[in-house]
Structure 1
Amino acid sequence: MKKAENIIVGISIGDLNGIGGEIILKTFEDSRVLDFCTPVIFASAKSMNFYKGHFKSGINFHNINGMNQLAQGKVNVLNCWNEPVKIEFGKEDIKIGSYAIKSLKAAVEALKRDEIHVLVTAPINKYNIQSDAFKFPGHTDYLAQELKGESLMFMVTGDLRVGLLTDHVPVKDVVTHISEELIVKKINTIHNSLKKDFRINKPKIAVLGINPHTGDNGVIGREDDDILRPTLKKIKEDGKLVFGPYAADSFFGSSNYKNFDAIVATYHDQGLIPFKTLSFGQGVNYTAGLDKIRTSPDHGTAFEIAGKGTADSGSFKEAVYAAIQIYKNRIDYEQLTANPLKKMRK
């Protein structure tokens, strides 16, 4: 791993008809960001110049055709295609989806070759990316295939971190996916990420129940009693500070979440509704558990406001900052394991 002071941030462009181009421009128009990272946008000079003209941006791009042409302290645009692309803001378009995947694949290959240190992904449209060559419900599943490790969707903002046992799974199928093996794997991933990526020495993890009121002793389902509680007991016996299951309906409203370093939700909306309510516009989607670092904003393509110049870049900017900080934390962790006398934050 290279030194932290010269971090190269790879950026996949996402859906060209969404707000990705706008929030990328707004993030790097602040030249101070270039003091601690060098961005590389995987797209094309023609597409980025279209955004520059449309949004009347003063940003200056450094266009390159290979990573060997990278310029430090510049906003680099790596040409993943050269043909002109018709950008129509707000339109769902299969062809535009193919360019989002072309950008993503090029960025991931650069990440695997250590040509970039971290990856930040702009939002994609999950429908128009589907093809014979790409059959994934989103970034996370693709990255899980391409990178080493056990991937986990980890939503983070400040001291609030929410991980998911199941992510893009239909509600009717959630219970069939939950098993002792899955619970152990996901909690281990969260525990290791808290130590390695967030430098928390003895993380405290809360787990939300599967059923309303965690099943009310079987009156509203047996899954909490038959699967979740016995598994959490085994994990505690292994020495991890894991607590629960907690009834999800009151956990966040009571501010109980503030007592833990991370919360594990059993399915997507159980975790993301309270997370986005508390943090919308500043939250970051981090794919924990992999050997490489990837973050993204906590929102989608926002077709309804695309091209209007009103998109909030806060979450994307936080995704850039989070990727950089996690990269630095991993370097510190490696140094810590080499020198155990260096103390971590408790």
Structure 2
Amino acid sequence: MEKEKEKIKEEGRAVPIRVGISIGDINGIGPEVVIKALADNRLLLDCTPIIYASSKTISFHKKAMNEPEFNYQTCKTANEAVNRKVNIINVWNEEVQFELGKGTEASGKYAFLSLEKATEDLASGKIDVLVTAPISKEAIGKAGFQFPGHTEYLAHLAGMDEALMMMVSGSLRVALVTTHVPLKEVSGTLTREKILAKIKALDSSLKKDFGIQRPKIAVFGLNPHASENGKMGTEEAETITPAINMARNEDIFAFGPFPADGFFGSPNRSQYDAVLAMYHDQGLAAFKALAFEDGVNYTAGLPIVRTSPDHGTAFDIAGKNEANAQSMRSAIYLAIDIFNTRKFLKEIAANPLQIQESAHHRKRGDRQHEIE
């Protein structure tokens, strides 16, 4: 009877986006920020969350946080998820030994199981988007995860050499040429072709994921002060500038290379839709200083939509009920927005507006017909 009532309620309403959520490391703050984000029922107006974990795991963290208002239901598969309710798929059923604040082989195993099941359902269309809670790379590595992070793992599953890591907070968007690469290896990794590919991927994402028709991209240099015309390195002249010029020859509005140190504090930042940094900390240190609480990590350049909070497992505060859930909440909303933008652009491309004859021209045509 209840299901019938729900069905009647749903008739005539837009189908909510099915948001799959991998739980991340169960000894970190992942479960806490997921629970806090989904405890706000307003979010359920736009989506149907499906958490890949176990009801026992969620119940443990719910009790530790003293969140009596957080309600959920279990389902065997994503196809059975109830719209606009929080759903949990039991990826495992055994009792779990929690060691809050520690990344262990066991916590890595459960993080990997959650991610595997969520990505399977994403690939088969059972969920629309994926939001990943933070993992411990060390812990999940002990469980057989052979990738530097989510970005590389998802690119591998998509059959691509690389994806584009992009950090997003409102109109602030920072993408990276290299991601999880030791600093001493960055220079040798940069090539004209690699930088050009990242510029093109960023340009494409800004258009199809954010609906920006003619995006402007600021490209950073590698060296201090973008080398000051070769005084502090040759990468700008030999690699980065040629890649920018190649992009411009393909009608992409790429500019630079800009010195990274003063860019984010400059009013020039507002002139660009996104920034492309050469390496991890060059872009992310400034981004997280500006938008740590609501920043989102978006994996661009893939056929699927995946977002994540921009923070890590925060083992130091795990279990203390101190974690801020805004980044997780923002990650869910951004995934929904990108999914809807892609859907909208696909629909208008498939059904272009027909040129309508004006009333003035119709009258002229009628009169001409009468004359003839």
Q: What TM-score do the two structures reach when normalised by structure 2?
A: 0.89
- The 2-side partners of 1:63 and 1:118 are apart by 19
Displacement, 1:213? 1.3
Matched, 1:12 2:10: no
Alpha-carbon separation, structure 2, partners of 1:314 and 1:164: 23
The yes-or-no answer on 1:113 pairing with 2:124 is: yes
In angstroms, what is the RMSD of aligned CA positions?
1.5
Q: How many residues align?
A: 340
Alignment correspondent of 2:293: 281
1:17/1:303 contact within 8 Å kept? yes
User: What's the counterpart of residue 136 of structure 1?
Assistant: 147
Q: Tell me the alpha carbon deviations over residues 126-175 of structure 1, each in whole angstroms, 9 at most, x when there is no partner.
A: 11111473211111110011125551001011111000000111100001
Cα deviation code 1:90-143 (max 9, x no counterpart): 012111111100000100000000100000000000111114732111111100
Query: 2:79 corresponds to which letter in structure 1?
Result: N
Q: Which residue of 1 is the match for residue 134 of structure 2?
A: 123
Does the CA contact (< 8 Å) of 2:112 and 2:143 recur in 1? Answer: no
Partner-residue secondary structure (3-state), 2:92 = coil
Further displaced range: 15-24 or 49-58: 49-58
Separation in 1, partners of 2:253, 2:121: 37
Q: Does 1:329 align with 2:341?
A: yes
Matches within 5 A, 1:14-33: 14-33=24-43
- Alignment of 1:245 onto 2:234: no
Q: Is the 8 A contact 1:148 1:290 kept in 2?
A: no
Q: In structure 2, what is the equivalent of residue 87 of structure 1?
A: 98
Superposition map of 1:119-198 within 5 A: 119-131=130-142, 133-147=144-158, 150-198=162-210
Letter in 1 for 2:54: S
Cα offset for 1:4?
Answer: 6.7
Decide which moves more: 113-122 or 58-67.
58-67
Partners of 2:227 and 2:15 in 1: CA distance: 50
Greater relative CO, 1 or 2 (CA 8 Å, sep 6+): 1
Tell whether the 8 Å contact from 1:4 to 1:327 is kept in structure 2 after alignment.
no
**Take 2:230 and 2:138, find their aligned partners in 1: how far apart are those partners?**
38
Pick from 77, 83, 88 the counterpart of residue 66 of structure 1: 77
CA contact (8 A) 1:248 1:270 kept: yes
Could you tell which deviates more after superposition, 21-30 or 115-124? 21-30
Judge which range, 26-35 or 199-208, deviates more: 26-35
Unaligned runs of 5+ in 1: none
CA separation in 2, counterparts of 1:253 and 1:34? 37
Partner of 1:295: 307
In the alignment, residue 196 of structure 2 is paired with which amino acid?
V
Deviations 1:244-264 (A, max 9, x none): 000111111213221100100
Q: Return the alpha-carbon distance in structure 1 between the equivalents of residues 71 and 143 of structure 2.
A: 37
Distance 1:275 1:341, change over 3 A: farther
Higher-helix-fraction structure: 2
Q: Is the 8 A contact 2:109 2:143 kept in 1?
A: no
Contact 1:297-1:319 within 8 A present in 2 as well:
yes
- Percent identity for Structure 1 against Structure 2: 49
What aligned pairs does 1:226-265 form with structure 2 within 5 A after superposition?
226-265=238-277
Residue type at the aligned position of 2:98:
I
Q: What are the Cα deviations for residues 188-214 of structure 1, in whole angstroms up to 9, with x where unaligned?
A: 111010000000000000000011111
Q: Matches of 1:4 and 1:144 in 2, distance apart?
A: 31
Q: What SS does structure 2 have at the residue aligned with 1:220? A: coil
Q: Which stretch of structure 1 is more off in the superposition, 229-238 or 102-111?
A: 229-238
Aligned partner of 2:181: which letter?
A: V
Q: Larger radius of gyration, structure 1 or 2?
A: 2
Q: Is the 8 A contact 1:148 1:291 kept in 2?
A: no
Sort the Cα spacing of 1:325 and 1:278 in 2 relative to 1 into closer, same or farther, 3 A.
Answer: same
Q: Distance in 2 between matches of 1:204 and 1:340?
A: 26
Query: Which amino acid in 2 is paired with 1:66?
Result: T
AA of the residue aligned to 1:7: I
State the one-letter code of the partner of 1:215: S
Contact 2:105 2:143 in 1 (8 A): no
Instruction: Give distance in 1, aligned partners of 2:183 and 2:129.
Output: 32
2:29 and 2:317 in contact (8 A); partners too: yes
Equivalent residue letter for 1:90: G
**1:313 partner letter:** A
1:23-64 Cα offsets, whole Å, 9 max, x none, are 111111111211110000000011111112111212111112
CA 1:28/1:132 → structure 2, altered by over 3 Å: closer, same or farther? closer
**1:221 equivalent in structure 2:** 233
**DSSP 3-state at the match of 1:304:** helix
* Corresponding letter in the other structure for 1:261: D
Give the TM-score normalised by structure 1: 0.95
